[in-house]
């Protein structure tokens, strides 16, 4: 066990994150581990398509360009690198990294973690009686209409810990949980045992905060106007102590900020409630407390843990068909009538199997000052099971052919054109599988280490929070945007969207708690009025959290929404007007939200 905290620095929060972040982390403050997270449900779908095209790929190829220039410095400093950039082919990426190191004349030991890719095992699992039931519907995988093209079980952090304990310098993973990229190094560093539940829970919590990179330093933050240096916010660092508590900070030279609110934003992001399930531990997030302990330093403590569930999630992707999207613009007046005619003209004589979805974006000003105030966008998505049907549809040609015979004031962006090549549409099935059925392995120097599952238990159910009683307002009230008082962040988990809403001012917490009932959320978000909505409270964080089941269809890679992953739902909710006590508004006049 090492007494001082381990310092883990993130350099990637998703596939496509800022390319220079690895170099920035190397140039920043001293750390023990560099951690890069590239995978999410929607990005796994993209890598699945790449892996289908070329089975030797399927990993994050640009990671090699990020890593290569720094191999010598990594070896000299003794910094470890842990990443899930292996995607569908961690062995292939590990081999490529070894090749880079050999070319650079650098002696680095590279391990990879495998066993998450269970695509070929799916028939055997089902034959053995595993239903691979959908997490949202409970239906067995055998009822799915799509043919699986990828299936990855979520692994925990003990394989990473084992690789580091055996002397690996770089650990390449596939689909481990995002937080496992932090849990593994912390468990290795501190010598934790499998049943150090509270310490493991603390590490999962810290990992959840830093896994999305600049999310923790002011990126995608509803209080962005208060964040300095947001032109290029720095990436976060977690200092994790032996008891699992942590301090979240950032490189001192970089922009952005770490505050109680930026950390809260990430804690309530993409969770299903206070019980946060992980292959290594079940985390009880409702006990977590945050405290500012210095500039850009927030202490995270109080996380408690219990044994993990006996099952893990398996992300199964299947080919659903093809899609094609074109966007045109419609000019006032009479926008509704014009769109109705366009819809009828575009939909005339559709090839068999083609379906169209129309989404109007924007609202026309009553008395527009400029042309764009009189303009709305119309997004047309065409879907079909086979590519040939969409090619036969010829959506760009249909749109171009209407310019002299349809509505006035209708056009497309000539500089962008109208795309005509259909793209694959990948469906998502979040399945459950006993962790004991997954072969979690570490490969290092041609040796294979088997990682046994942790002791498990049926997790406690999510707590049930009663709907709040009516809030009795003393004094005058005013109708104002919710965002005048509250922060929010939203995200996706499969077909469910989640949104966490919180206040920085403890005086506003009773009002927020009482105002954001499930019934009020249905009123504020008509898109969710018929959905199953789950509401939870986090008093320590002064937060109310909602899960909107089914808002995203079956998942971000397959639904027809423009905001496919629900990332903008939180800001949409903040734009809605509610009745706010005047005394809460007075100190915020002229601002969008409290610091």
Q: Does residue 588 carry a pLDDT above 80?
A: no
CA 154-263-504 angle, 5° bins: 140
Average pLDDT for residues 61-81, to the nearest whole number?
98
Phi, psi of 298 (to 5 degrees): -125, 125
Q: Which of 281, 314, 317 is nearest to 153 (CA)?
A: 314
Q: Which long-range contacts (C-beta less than 8 Å, at least 24 apart) are formed by 74-79?
A: 74/26, 74/34, 74/106, 74/108, 74/169, 74/170, 75/106, 75/107, 75/108, 75/169, 77/30, 79/31, 79/32, 79/33, 79/34
Proportion of the chain in helix, strand, coil states, percent, rounded to 5: 30, 30, 40
Predicted confidence (pLDDT) at residue 48 exceeds the cutoff of 90 = no
pLDDT score recorded for residue 595: 42
- CA of 182: how far to CAs of 35, 246, 472, 560, in Å? 7, 12, 44, 34
Please give the pLDDT value at position 594.
44
What is the sign of the dihedral through the CA atoms of 265, 270, 272 and 277? negative
Task: Identify the pLDDT of residue 586.
Answer: 87
Q: Is the dihedral of CA 325, 330, 336, 337 positive or negative?
A: negative
Binning pLDDT at 50, 70 and 90, where does residue 51 land? Answer: confident
The answer to whether 427 and 555 are in contact (CB under 8 A) is yes
pLDDT per position as a tens digit, 400-413: 999 999 999 999 99
Residue 87 carries which DSSP code? T
Instruction: Please report where in the chains the tokens 């006993």 appear, as a residue.
Output: 434
With bands split at pLDDT 50, 70 and 90, how would you rate the model's confidence at 557?
Answer: confident
Model pLDDT, residue 52: 75
d(CA 324, CA 399): 13
pTM greater than 0.85 (yes/no):
yes
Instruction: For residue range 494-518, list pLDDT tens digits in order.
Output: 999 999 999 999 999 999 999 999 9
Residue 360 has pLDDT above 70, yes or no: yes
Query: CA-CA distances (angstroms) from residue 463 to 300, 315, 540?
Result: 22, 26, 15
- In whole angstroms, how far apart are CA 277 and each of 135, 154, 232, 381? 13, 11, 33, 36
β 80-83/170-172 pair status: parallel
The pLDDT value given to residue 30: 98
Structural domains of the chain, ranges and CATH numbers in brackets: 6-116+154-309 (no CATH), 322-425 (3.30.70), 477-586 (no CATH)
- Give the C-alpha separation, 402 to 255, whole Å: 49
Average pLDDT over residues 545-554: 97
Instruction: Give residue for tokens 């531990």.
Output: 281
- How far is residue 303's CA from residue 371's CA, in Å, rounded to a whole number? 54
The C-alpha atoms of residue 561 and residue 551 are separated, in whole angstroms, by: 9
Name the average pLDDT for the chain: 95
DSSP label at 224? Answer: G
Cis peptide, bond prior to residue 257, ω within 30 of zero: no
Q: Where are the alpha helices (DSSP H) in 369-434?
A: 387-393, 395-400
N-to-C CA span, the chain: 39
CB crowding 276-292: b at 16 or more within 10 Å, else e: bbbbbbbbbbbbbebee
Contacts of 449 (CB under 8 A, 6+ apart): 159, 162, 163, 166, 441, 442, 443
Q: What is the pLDDT of residue 211?
A: 98
- Long-range CB contacts (within 8 A, 24+) of 530-536: 534/272, 534/273, 534/462, 535/465, 535/467, 536/273, 536/274, 536/462, 536/463, 536/465
The pLDDT assigned to 589 comes to 57
Q: Which residues does residue 312 pair with via DSSP β-bridges, in sequence order? A: 433
Whether residue 345 is predicted with pLDDT greater than 50 in this model: the reply is yes
- Provide φ and ψ at 130, rounded to 5°: -80, 120
CB of 579 within 8 A of CB of 484? no
Rounded distance, CA 190 to CA 194, Å? 12
Q: Which long-range contacts (CB under 8 A, 24 or more apart) does 395-402 make?
A: 395/324, 395/326, 395/346, 395/420, 396/326, 396/420, 398/345, 398/346, 399/326, 399/328, 399/346, 402/342, 402/345, 402/346
At 570-584, the pLDDT tens digits run: 999 999 999 999 999
Helices (H), 176-269: 180-190, 197-210, 260-267
Provide the percentage of residues in the chain whose pLDDT is more than 70: 98
| pLDDT digits 0-9 by tens, 237-280 | 999 999 999 999 999 999 999 999 999 999 999 999 999 999 99
Measure the CA dihedral 524/530/532/535, to 10°.
20
């Amino acid at each position: 066990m090492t007494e001082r905290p381990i310092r883990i620095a993130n350099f990637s929060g998703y596939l496509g994150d800022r390319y220079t972040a690895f170099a920035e982390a190397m140039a920043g403050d001293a750390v023990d581990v560099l951690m890069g997270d590239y995978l999410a449900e929607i990005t796994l779908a993209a890598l699945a398509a790449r892996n289908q095209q070329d089975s030797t790929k399927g990993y994050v190829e640009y990671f090699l360009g990020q890593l290569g220039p720094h191999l010598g410095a990594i070896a000299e400093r003794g910094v470890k690198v842990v990443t899930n950039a292996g995607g569908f082919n961690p062995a292939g990426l590990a081999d490529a990294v070894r090749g880079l190191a050999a070319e650079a004349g650098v002696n680095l030991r590279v391990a990879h973690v495998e066993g998450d890719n269970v695509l070929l095992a799916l028939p055997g699992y089902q034959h053995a009686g595993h239903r691979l039931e959908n997490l949202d519907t409970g239906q067995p995988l055998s009822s799915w209409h799509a043919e699986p093209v990828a299936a990855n079980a979520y692994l925990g952090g003990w394989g990473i810990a084992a690789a580091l304990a055996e002397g690996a310098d770089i650990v390449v993973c596939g689909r481990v949980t995002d937080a496992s990229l932090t849990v593994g190094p912390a468990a290795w560093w501190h010598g934790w045992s499998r049943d150090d539940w509270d310490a493991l829970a603390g590490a999962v919590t810290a990992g959840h905060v830093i896994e999305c990179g600049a999310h923790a330093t002011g990126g995608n933050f509803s209080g962005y106007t208060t964040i300095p240096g947001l032109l290029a916010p720095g990436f976060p660092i977690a200092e994790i102590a032996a008891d699992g508590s942590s301090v979240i900070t950032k490189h001192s030279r970089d922009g952005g900020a770490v505050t109680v609110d930026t950390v809260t934003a990430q804690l309530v992001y993409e969770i299903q409630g206070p019980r946060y399930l992980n292959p290594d531990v079940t985390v009880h997030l409702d006990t977590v407390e945050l405290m500012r302990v210095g500039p850009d330093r927030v202490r995270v403590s109080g996380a408690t843990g219990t044994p993990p569930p006996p099952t893990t999630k398996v992300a199964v992707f299947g080919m659903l068909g093809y899609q094609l999207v074109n966007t045109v613009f419609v000019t006032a007046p009479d926008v509704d009538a014009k769109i109705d005619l366009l819809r009828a003209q575009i939909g005339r004589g559709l090839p068999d199997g083609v379906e169209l979805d129309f989404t109007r974006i924007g609202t026309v000003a009553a008395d527009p000052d400029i042309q764009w105030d009189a303009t709305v966008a119309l997004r047309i998505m065409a879907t079909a099971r086979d590519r040939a049907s969409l090619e036969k549809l010829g959506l760009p040609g249909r749109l171009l052919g209407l310019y002299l015979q349809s509505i006035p004031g209708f056009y497309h962006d000539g500089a962008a054109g109208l795309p005509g090549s259909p793209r694959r549409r990948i469906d998502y099935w979040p399945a459950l599988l006993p962790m004991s059925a997954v072969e979690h392995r570490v490969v290092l120097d041609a040796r294979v280490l088997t990682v046994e599952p942790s002791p498990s238990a049926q997790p406690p159910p999510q707590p049930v929070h009663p709907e709040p009683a009516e809030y009795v307002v003393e004094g005058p009230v005013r109708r104002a945007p919710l965002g005048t008082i509250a922060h929010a962040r939203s995200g996706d988990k499969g077909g469910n969207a989640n949104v966490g809403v919180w206040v920085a001012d403890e005086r506003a917490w009773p009002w927020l708690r009482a105002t954001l009932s499930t019934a009020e959320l249905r009123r504020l978000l008509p898109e969710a009025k018929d959905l199953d909505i789950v509401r939870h409270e986090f008093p320590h964080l002064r937060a109310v959290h909602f899960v909107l089941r089914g808002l995203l269809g079956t998942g971000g890679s397959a639904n027809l929404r423009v905001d496919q992953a629900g990332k903008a739902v939180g800001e949409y909710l903040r734009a809605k007007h509610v009745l706010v006590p005047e005394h809460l508004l007075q100190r915020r006049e002229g601002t969008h939200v409290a610091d």
